[in-house]
Amino acid sequence: MHRIAVLASVDVVSVVSADDLSKVTPCVGWSLADLLTHMTVQHRGFAAAARGHGADQAIWQPDTVAEAVAVDPVGTYSAAATAVIDAFAGADVLDAAFALPEFGAGATFPGSVAIGFHYVDYVVHGWDVARTLGQPFELPVDVVAAALPLAFAVPDGSFRTSDSAVFGPAIPSTEPTNDLDRILAYLGRSPEWKPPVVAKTSGMAAKKS
């Protein structure tokens, strides 16, 4: 399930061009370059954690990959995604202790729990990239259904409004929705989000201004 979700994110990132990197995303305050940098460094960090090296804070720093993402967003992201998929396929990984310093100094989780964190992130972040680009993002029904209880296990509360919050406050919804929409809304995204329309100025209007 996890592998399918990550590979779906690779597919949608594969159409990103340098001109897309400045686009606004559903992640408030983040451009597409910021989002892809985050996604890439998280892949690298979780891959390191699966191999026993996650406690190294330097691995998780966005500036370690930002330049590579700016130069080659598709290749850099794809390589990081492959690395985490390979790391999660290791023997006994579900029982391994993953050090995840972003959760606090000395924080560790069983591999089965840590992979769940990562799984939900890439169901959501794949949608983030697709929606930024105006592209469809489709996952198998069972992949989304398996992510739903993991998403709803994420605590909600006022702490989600802080600058360091991973997700924004849950958005209440009274309309029946599919499982992906439920995940998005609970993790602070409007399923109806669309990129802002940029007004184009005609050549004649530009000359007059």
For position 208, what pLDDT does the model report? 40
CA 181 to chain centre: 16
pLDDT-derived band at 203, boundaries 50, 70, 90: very low
At the topology level of CATH, where does 2-208 sit?
Four Helix Bundle (Hemerythrin (Met), subunit A) (1.20.120)
CA dihedral 143, 76, 20, 125 (to 10 degrees): 20
CA dihedral 147, 161, 9, 116 (to 10 degrees): -30
pLDDT digits (tens, 9 = 90+) for 28-87: 889 999 999 999 999 999 999 999 999 999 999 999 999 999 999 999 999 999 999 999
Average pLDDT across the chain, whole number = 90
CA–CA separation, 137 vs 144, rounded Å? Answer: 12
Angle at 48 between CA 47 and CA 51, to 5 degrees: 95
Contact (CB, 8 A) for 154 and 168: no
pLDDT digits (tens, 9 = 90+) for 148-190: 999 999 888 776 666 656 677 888 876 768 999 999 999 989 9
Contact (CB, 8 A) for 6 and 13: no
CA dihedral 36, 128, 10, 56 (to 10 degrees): 40
